[in-house]
Amino acid sequence: MTLDEIKAISIKDYLGSMSIYPIKNYGYYGMYKSPFRNEHTPSFKVDYNQNLWYDFALDEGGSLIDLVMKLHRDIQ
């Protein structure tokens, strides 16, 4: 798989494959409970148009590649 093919994978679809779904959709973005901790109020935003994520509590975000690396630190 090439880098461009990986970047073309939707973060929304990737999270869905792990049974992580948005709590609320707002058109071009969705708010999720963070996959990095247990929380009651969603603080994890996925921008569907730009295919980027941002975790407000961690003040971190990025591409699908950044998300996979953060979720699976053992593959770095």
pLDDT in single tens digits along all 76 residues of the chain: 898 898 889 999 999 999 999 999 999 999 999 999 999 999 999 999 999 999 999 999 999 999 999 998 866 5
Distance CA 61, CA 56 (A): 8
So what's the pLDDT on residue 3?
A: 86
So what's the pLDDT on residue 39?
A: 95
The topology (CATH level 3) of 3-75 is DNA Primase; Chain A (3.90.580)
Domain boundaries in the chain? Answer: 3-75
So what's the pLDDT on residue 75?
A: 61
In 1-76, the DSSP E strands lie at 24-25, 29-32, 44-47, 52-55, 60-62
So what's the pLDDT on residue 1?
A: 87
